[in-house]
A and B are shown apart, each in its own frame.
Chain A
Amino acid sequence: MSKDQIVNKDDLVIRFAGDSGDGMQLSGTLFSDASALTGNDIATFPDYPAEIRAPHNTVAGVSGYQVHVGSHIYSSGDKCDILVAMNPASFKSQLKWAKKGATVIVDMDTFTDEAIEKAGYKENPFNDELERAYTIVRAPITSFTARIGAEQGVDKKTTEKCRNMFALGMIFFLTHKTLDKTFAYLERKFAKKPDVVKLNKAVLTEGYEYADKLELIHSKIVEVAHADMPKGRYRNITGNVATAWGLLAASERSGRRLFLGSYPITPATDVMVELAKHKSLGARVFQAEDEIAGICSAIGASYAGALACTSTSGPGLSLKSEALGLAVMVELPLVVVDVQRGGPSTGLPTKTEQSDLAQALYGRNGEAPLIVVAASSSANCFYWAYTAAKLALEHMTPVILLTDGYLGNGSQLFRIPKVSDLPEITPRLAKPNDPNYRPFRRDPETFAREWALPGMEGLRHRVGGLEKCPDGPLSTDPENHALMVYNRQEKVNRVANYIPDQEVTGNPDADLLVVGWGGTSGALTLAVEEMNKEGKKVAYTHFNYICPLPKNTGDILRKYKKIVVCELNNGQFAGYLRTQFPECPMTQYNKIMGLPFEVGELKAEFNRLIG
């Protein structure tokens, strides 16, 4: 290819789609890793079905993985510039995610009459209209891969698994990238299977060369701009791994052993899977018999002095509610990670949503306040997990960290911090043999009680779910109950004294304030940024501290004529803000489709509001 054919772009979105077993998640990951290693900023979004292997060639079984690469990436992107569709079903279900004019690579070998019909088409989908709207590349992926497999004497089943490498090779050509990073990965991954390495490399190379020979796409080669990021050491990380690592860092920094009691649940399981690997760092992971045992074991571990955590998703949080109330009552530090998914009930296990907010805030019997914080990017899950642990340990309270399926499974570049540069964590440990120790004696500033651990001399005491008086014994005295309810609430309220002020970005002098929280910040940031560039005035504030809210929240909200609260639910945060700031009129922009916001839809709404 000649250099003058290459188009330079700030960003590019690629979507890999195929049958659940076609290896699309791997293709996407390998491409994003290679892009990150060659200097692009990235964000990824796996969009996969709940079924492990739904019926072959059906729309139900389509698994997608979107990668957004470029110089400065906030989100996984709206629609894609390149779509890879490994069979008719993925072509049918995923074409709606392709931009008009996108390059669409299909495995033409899979478009048999039977597969076309199984995908739900009445006839062959390709027609002139479609050909005009997209650049459709019909690549003989299956047959070329099979030929290489046969040449190398590899069995059919193993060969079929390599089809994704052919498509990936084509994408590397189209993005003007070399294959060496992926070669290195294959050599590492299949170190003990040289035959598999050889086959995969050959198929990858074949895909690359096949694309090189296609005149049709030579005008489509894109060189994506390199990332424009602060100096530092970087890596690629998913939100769930970042969460796990944030907890590990907090454990090391606080000197408390890390305990995770958890039960597998999509999309939160990877937090446990990751921590289970790190016994060498002292992580004590316990796979419990159910969600309730997950949190109860964590409460027990917290009583015994660990930085105790449990990870779950919506329905699991429901099961944990009673125990969460106990944690509130006994005033023990506890981190509950809720990787939200579409609800209610089993809902949409593999799709993202922000609909557990109300449950996190209110889902317990009695007056049971606790801290709620939310991560807003895959990478900053690290800092929010760390912060959740710090707040729990210093304020002696359970903390719910809300992430979501989009953040948890998605990945991003992560600037690697030094653990010693992270804020200090000072657990409120009682002093052995302190004659004045009382279980509910409080720090006059934070209202946090002290943590006396079994094994410490001279501090024997009992805790439990029954109301206690400040000295420790049970009490059903009416005034005492009122006092203890007040104290527990005040302790959480006072956390506001220890968190930073809420910030406004975009154009602070705008009439319209966009409000977001948690995992939607990528699309919201980009939408607001683009509108301000286009000369529209939009201000934006994004919440990570949910309960308590930063102290200046009211001051910010009262400044704007129009406020739109954007969230992936029916308005839970908007409702929460209204109860605290009834003087501020707010409109809502909600999406409940199991999908993240798109920049386009947000801009349309903001433009409508500006009028």
Chain B
Amino acid sequence: MSERHFVPKSDVEYTKADFTSDQMVKWCPGCGDHAILSSLLNTFPKTHTKKENICMVSGIGCSSRIPYYVDTYGFHSIHGRACAIATGVKLANPALSVWVNMGDGDSMAIGGNHLIHAIRRNQDLNITIFNNEIYGLTKGQYSPTTKFGQVTKTSPYGTIDYPFNPGELVMGAQGTFFARTLDCVPQLTTDVMTRAAQHDGASVVEVLQNCMIFNDKTHAAITDRAVRDDRTIVLEHGKPMLYGKDKNKGLRFNGRELESVVIGENGITIDDIMVHDETIEDTGIHMMLAHMGGDLPVALGVIRNVKKTSYTQLYEDQMDEQMANGKYKCVDDLLNSGDTWEV
């Protein structure tokens, strides 16, 4: 089956300003969403997509206000349903570049069903999850990603809900693209969003985002400048999985699980360090990488990027085949098909 691309390229060179809308941005000052918006606006020119062919679809929550701040077509829909609406947009017109923006509650609680099915189908959607581990717009209730035991307005004695890890959810649903980034590293965010846009199929980008009002510093243990290099690892395809301020730490698979090792200690050399392959079809290693945290650094960058014919292409191939060779050319043919008689 030949690979097809449905979104036409633009001959115009756009800049960030071309995508900035005239609407006042109403997020709290200092909110991580500002940085994500900026990264997104920087991403669009890099995708070389005609401005009119971009359609932003969001659900409900702080992050879902984003379509108003982007000068493209946009649909700010209802809670949890962004993936379902985006699915219809793309099916009705595959020439559109469809971007779905949701928060953690929107995408994994009320909209969890739509998210897993959108991923499973591998329709060509660019999904971004703003993960601040809290319900912000309703003022501070725990979400499906809130850390176990955390005290919130609806968990005054600490949550007893085990949280989701969005990456594991993507792998479990046979996702073909998963990347993770931080709101405070805008260049990485733009890079992975650009890669996500290039991916034919459903792509999911998780942005660890700070809500300074209701869940401030929830990601600080990994995002603070002082610790970031040691608590995160930016994965790059084909390169050894090295991290740390001096890039002397690395990841090794010990036959049972991933472990962090230091080059030069205990006879460890660069050859012992795993090389990242984002294209392995089996989800095993990618699942382990997405799962990391605690003693292991949190994985950032493109963790998984697998080629698998997209739903969009499979759908259009079937449509084209039937339009060309199907039994009926017009509705009159259908109405008069089978047993009919004259009175």
Decide whether A and B are members of one complex: yes
Binding site for B on A (CB under 8 A): 33, 36-37, 39, 227, 229-236, 245, 248-249, 252, 257, 259, 261, 278-282, 284, 286, 288-290, 292-293, 296-306, 308, 322-323, 326, 330, 416-419, 453-466, 473-474
Instruction: List 4 tightest A-B contacts by C-beta distance, closest first.
Output: A280-B326, A300-B88, A464-B76, A297-B88
Whether B343 contacts A227 by the Cβ 8 Å rule is: yes
Whether A279 contacts B318 by the Cβ 8 Å rule is: yes
Would A323 and B78 be within 8 Å (CB), given that A245-B334, A280-B328, A282-B323 are in contact? yes
Would A322 and B78 be within 8 Å (CB), given that A233-B341, A300-B92, A454-B96 are in contact? yes
Instruction: Pick from B71, B84, B93, B340: contact of A416, CB below 8 A.
Output: B340
Whether A252 contacts B23 by the Cβ 8 Å rule is: no
Would A454 and B93 be within 8 Å (CB), given that A300-B88, A474-B68 are in contact? yes
Assembly CA distance A252 to B96 (angstroms): 23
B1 at the interface (CB under 8 A from A): no
Assembly CA distance A391 to B323 (angstroms): 27
Residues of A within 8 A of B117 (CB): 288-289, 293
Would A280 and B322 be within 8 Å (CB), given that A293-B117, A474-B68 are in contact? yes
Instruction: Pick from B84, B113, B341: contact of A234, CB below 8 A.
Output: B341
Residues of A within 8 A of B322 (CB): 279-280
| 6 more A-B residue pairs beyond the given contacts A234-B340, A330-B75, with a C-beta to C-beta distance below 8 A | A33-B339, A229-B343, A418-B332, A465-B76, A465-B77, A465-B78
B296 at the interface (CB under 8 A from A): no
Assembly CA distance A308 to B336 (angstroms): 25
Would A308 and B92 be within 8 Å (CB), given that A229-B343, A280-B327, A300-B84 are in contact? yes
Residue in B closest to A417 when the chains form the complex, CB atoms = B335
B114 at the interface (CB under 8 A from A): yes
Instruction: Pick from A305, A323, A416, A463: contact of B76, CB below 8 A.
Output: A463
Tell which of A288, A289, A457, A466 has the most Cβ of chain B within 10 Å.
A289
Would A278 and B334 be within 8 Å (CB), given that A261-B88, A296-B81 are in contact? yes
Assembly CA distance A269 to B80 (angstroms): 25
B329 at the interface (CB under 8 A from A): yes
Interchain residue pairs with CB less than 8 A apart (21): A39-B343, A236-B339, A249-B331, A280-B325, A286-B91, A288-B87, A293-B81, A293-B87, A297-B88, A299-B88, A300-B85, A300-B86, A300-B87, A301-B88, A304-B89, A308-B88, A453-B93, A459-B52, A461-B74, A465-B76, A465-B77
Residues of A within 8 A of B221 (CB): none
* Shortest distance between the CB of A367 and any CB in chain B (Å): 17
Residues of A within 8 A of B77 (CB): 296, 299, 326, 464-465
Whether B88 contacts A233 by the Cβ 8 Å rule is: no
Whether A289 contacts B331 by the Cβ 8 Å rule is: no
* Shortest distance between the CB of A211 and any CB in chain B (Å): 25
Whether B67 contacts A460 by the Cβ 8 Å rule is: no
Assembly CA distance A473 to B325 (angstroms): 46
Assembly CA distance A302 to B335 (angstroms): 26
B213 at the interface (CB under 8 A from A): no
Would A281 and B92 be within 8 Å (CB), given that A233-B342, A322-B78 are in contact? no
Instruction: Pick from B52, B74, B75, B315: contact of A300, CB below 8 A.
Output: B75
Whether B92 contacts A301 by the Cβ 8 Å rule is: yes
Size category, B interface: 35 or more
B279 at the interface (CB under 8 A from A): no
Residues of A within 8 A of B72 (CB): 460
Whether A296 contacts B88 by the Cβ 8 Å rule is: yes
B55 at the interface (CB under 8 A from A): yes
Mark out the residues of chain B between 63 and 121 whose CB falls within 8 Å of any chain A CB in the assembled complex: 67-68, 71-78, 81, 83-93, 95-96, 113-114, 117
Would A281 and B334 be within 8 Å (CB), given that A37-B341, A234-B341 are in contact? yes
Assembly CA distance A473 to B323 (angstroms): 40
Assembly CA distance A279 to B85 (angstroms): 21
* Shortest distance between the CB of A326 and any CB in chain B (Å): 5
Assembly CA distance A301 to B86 (angstroms): 8
B298 at the interface (CB under 8 A from A): no
B57 at the interface (CB under 8 A from A): yes
B51 at the interface (CB under 8 A from A): yes
B319 at the interface (CB under 8 A from A): yes
B38 at the interface (CB under 8 A from A): no
B284 at the interface (CB under 8 A from A): no
Would A419 and B328 be within 8 Å (CB), given that A257-B92, A323-B81, A454-B52 are in contact? no
Whether A290 contacts B88 by the Cβ 8 Å rule is: no
Assembly CA distance A299 to B84 (angstroms): 9
Whether A457 contacts B52 by the Cβ 8 Å rule is: yes
Instruction: Pick from B76, B81, B341, B342: contact of A466, CB below 8 A.
Output: B76
Assembly CA distance A231 to B52 (angstroms): 51
Residues of B within 8 A of A292 (CB): 81, 84, 114
Whether A455 contacts B343 by the Cβ 8 Å rule is: no
Residues of B within 8 A of A234 (CB): 340-343
Whether B53 contacts A454 by the Cβ 8 Å rule is: yes
Whether B340 contacts A301 by the Cβ 8 Å rule is: no
Whether B89 contacts A231 by the Cβ 8 Å rule is: no
Assembly CA distance A257 to B93 (angstroms): 10
Residues of A within 8 A of B340 (CB): 233-235, 416
Instruction: Pick from A252, A290, A308, A464: contact of B75, CB below 8 A.
Output: A464
Whether B96 contacts A278 by the Cβ 8 Å rule is: no
Assembly CA distance A235 to B337 (angstroms): 9
Residue in B closest to A184 when the chains form the complex, CB atoms = B339
Residues of A within 8 A of B332 (CB): 418-419
* Shortest distance between the CB of B150 and any CB in chain A (Å): 29
Would A252 and B331 be within 8 Å (CB), given that A282-B323, A323-B78 are in contact? yes
Assembly CA distance A286 to B76 (angstroms): 22
Tell which of B54, B76, B113 has the most Cβ of chain A within 10 Å.
B76
Residues of B within 8 A of A305 (CB): 92-93
* Shortest distance between the CB of B316 and any CB in chain A (Å): 10
Whether B335 contacts A416 by the Cβ 8 Å rule is: yes
B338 at the interface (CB under 8 A from A): yes
Over the window 299-337 of chain B, the binary record of Cβ atoms lying under 8 Å from chain A Cβ atoms (1 yes, 0 no) is: 000000000000000010011001101111111101110
Would A252 and B113 be within 8 Å (CB), given that A279-B318, A297-B85 are in contact? no
Residue in B closest to A458 when the chains form the complex, CB atoms = B52
Whether A416 contacts B336 by the Cβ 8 Å rule is: yes
Instruction: Pick from B84, B318, B326, B342: contact of A297, CB below 8 A.
Output: B84
Whether A289 contacts B113 by the Cβ 8 Å rule is: yes
Whether A232 contacts B87 by the Cβ 8 Å rule is: no
Whether B343 contacts A232 by the Cβ 8 Å rule is: yes
Residues of B within 8 A of A282 (CB): 319, 323
* Shortest distance between the CB of B88 and any CB in chain A (Å): 3
Assembly CA distance A297 to B53 (angstroms): 18
Residues of B within 8 A of A302 (CB): 88, 92
Assembly CA distance A39 to B341 (angstroms): 9
Instruction: Pick from B78, B81, B89, B339: contact of A235, CB below 8 A.
Output: B339
Residue in A closest to B56 when the chains form the complex, CB atoms = A462
Assembly CA distance A230 to B314 (angstroms): 46
Residues of A within 8 A of B53 (CB): 454-455
Instruction: Pick from B73, B319, B329, B336: contact of A461, CB below 8 A.
Output: B73
Assembly CA distance A454 to B99 (angstroms): 13
Residues of B within 8 A of A474 (CB): 68
Residue in B closest to A252 when the chains form the complex, CB atoms = B331
Assembly CA distance A361 to B180 (angstroms): 46
Instruction: Pick from B89, B331, B342: contact of A419, CB below 8 A.
Output: B331
Assembly CA distance A460 to B14 (angstroms): 16
Whether B318 contacts A462 by the Cβ 8 Å rule is: no
* Shortest distance between the CB of B53 and any CB in chain A (Å): 5
Assembly CA distance A465 to B86 (angstroms): 15
Residues of A within 8 A of B329 (CB): 280
Residues of A within 8 A of B73 (CB): 454-455, 460-462
Tell which of B55, B90, B334 has the most Cβ of chain A within 10 Å.
B334
* Shortest distance between the CB of B20 and any CB in chain A (Å): 12
Whether B338 contacts A235 by the Cβ 8 Å rule is: yes
Instruction: Pick from B23, B75, B113: contact of A303, CB below 8 A.
Output: B75
Residue in B closest to A274 when the chains form the complex, CB atoms = B334
Assembly CA distance A289 to B60 (angstroms): 20
Residues of A within 8 A of B71 (CB): 460
